[in-house]
Structures are given as structure tokens and as C-alpha cells.
Amino acid sequence: MSLPTSTPSDPHGAGPQDDAAPGGAEGDNSPEGVAHRARIRSFVVRAGRMGTGQIKALAELGPRYVLPFEQRPLDTAQVFGRQAPVVLEIGFGMGGATAQIAQSLPDHDFIGCEVHEPGVGALLKLIGEQDIPNIRIFQHDAVEVLEHMIPEGSLAGVHIFFPDPWHKKRHNKRRLIQPPFVAKLVRHLAPGGYLHCATDWAPYAEQMLEVLGADPDLVNTAPGNGYAEKPTYRPLTKFENRGLKLGHGVWDLVFRRK
């Protein structure tokens, strides 16, 4: 099993309620806090029930594996204690895929961003149970983590699996995959680094193909500039499997930075 290599020719849920109000930490009146609230965000922080295992994992493993958001570049060599290709995952949900991928690719390091606390607890629980050394977590908006902590040109890959589809037309602007954010993501990829998106919402798949296809610094790895075959490193989730059995589609897109 391998991630896309840097050879250009190499082929390769449950989201928020559409009616939910935009999130934002109230009470922070610093310029950064105000700007943060003013920006359209791709998520809503939902209250979620934490299981006892998740609470325990947060308390015991959080200090070691959850990194604090800071407005300065992350030193991944220091954090992971080695030099290895780094993959950023945006919105890991309950972290099942993240844990499986990290275990199957021990030579890569994975930074997962998720704002939903039960998801952070769930991934920490998996890290503890399976003794996974190559994952670190930000419980923070991935857009800000990218902007402030990830050096440009540094990432081997970016995973965005089943991002919130924001079905309603008036909420489409909250989708992550839009030209300005994609341009930013691409700047943080190393040359030859890849961006892998997957979705089960056909209109979003079309938007992804259009937006990624139009970015001048990306190349589609799929034959015919279409959707990619599911790369072997991405596990099929229970949710996805159920959808597939019901005849729903899933679309993978794997693009590479020129």
C-alpha cells in the first residue's frame, strides 16, 4: 500500500445541519478573534456526547498527541522526532480512516485537524489502543492551522475525505473546496505533493473536479482528467460501504502540485 508518489504520471457522514448558525468563539475581541468570526467557516461546532473512553483518552493522551494552535510555524521534525513526509488531513471525523492509513504507512507522519471534540477523543482512543506513533492532532479550524502553522511547500499530501457537503444552495459558500482555499492548499504542498478529496455528494464532486481542474498549479492524476480510482490507502468506511450498497456513488479526486 502506498501514497501517491511524486511521479506525475503515477495514477494514483454525518455533517453539520444545513440550517445551523455559523460558529465562532464569542468573547474574543482581539483583531484576530473578530476576523475569525467574520470569515465564512466550513464547519459548525456541534455539542456531541462524549463516551467515557473518549473522555479518558482526551485526558490521558491529549497532552501528548493534541498540539496547541499557535501563530507560528510547526516544526514537524521536532514534533515527530524525525524527518518524514507529512500529510495533513482536514476534518477526520471519528478518525477511523486516519488511524488505518497512519498504521499502514509508518514512514509518513500525519497531522489531523478536527473541531468536533468527540472525534478528537475517538481518534486519541484509537491511537492509544493501537499504539500509533505517527499522528498528531489539532482541535482547531484547519484553515487557520494551514495559514499559520504549516510552512508553504512543505506537505507531501493533503486528505479531505467526505467534507461537509453543505447541500443547500445558500450554504454552498461554506464548502471547503473553492478556488481561493484550493490555491492556498496548493501553496503549502511540496512540488509533486498530492491533494486527495473524496465525496459521496455528486454536485460537490462536480464542483471539486471543476475547481481542482481549473487550478493552474495542479495536475489531475486520473486518466482523461476525470475522477480517480479509490487509492488503496483510503479504507472503505462502514458509512461509505452502506451508501455503496444502496447504490450511492463515491468519487475520489487525486491531483498533484506541478
Ligand X SMILES: C[S@@+](CC[C@H](N)C(=O)[O-])C[C@H]1O[C@@H](n2cnc3c(N)ncnc32)[C@H](O)[C@@H]1O
Q: Under the criterion CB under 6 A, does residue 143 sit at the interface with ligand X?
A: yes
Task: Mark 218-247 with x for binding to ligand X (rule: CB under 6 A) and - for no binding.
Answer: -------------------x----------
Asked whether residue 141 is marked as a ligand-binding residue, the answer is yes
Per CB under 6 A, which region of 29-37, 158-166, 183-191, 204-212 contacts ligand X?
158-166
Rounded Cα–Cα distance for residues 243 and 237 (Å): 10
Cα distance between residue 57 and residue 20, in whole Å: 29
The yes or no reply on residue 42 touching ligand X (CB under 6 A) is yes
Is residue 75 annotated as involved in ligand binding?
no
Residue 115 parent element (H or E) = none
Catalytic annotation present for 164? yes
The residue nearest ligand X at its CB is: 91
Residue 172 in grid coordinates: 454552498
What's the Cα-to-Cα distance from 138 to each of 134, 146, 160, 248, rounded to whole Å?
14, 11, 15, 31
Compute the least distance from the CB of residue 165 to ligand X, in Å: 7
Check whether 110 is labelled as a binding-site residue. Answer: no
Under the criterion CB under 6 A, does residue 15 sit at the interface with ligand X? yes
Asked if 255 is part of the footprint of ligand X (rule: CB under 6 A), the reply reads no
Among 101, 102, 132, 142, binds ligand X (CB under 6 A): 142
Vertex 106 angle, CA 104 and 109, to 5°: 115
Residue 66 DSSP code: B
Contact 42/140 with Cβ under 8 angstroms? no
Helices (H), the chain: 31-38, 52-65, 76-80, 96-104, 117-130, 142-149, 179-188, 202-214, 238-245
CB 73, CB 149: distance < 8 Å: yes
Stretch that binds ligand X, among 58-66, 111-119, 147-155, 247-255 (CB under 6 A): 111-119
Confirm or deny that 164 is annotated as ligand binding. yes
Please tell me whether residue 100 binds ligand X under the rule CB under 6 A. Answer: no
**Catalytic residue (one of 131, 164, 215, 217):** 164
Binding site for ligand X (CB under 6 A): 13, 15, 42-43, 90-93, 113-116, 119, 141-143, 161-164, 237
Query: Which residues line the annotated binding site for S-adenosyl-L-methionine?
Result: 89, 114, 141, 164
List residues with catalytic annotation: 164
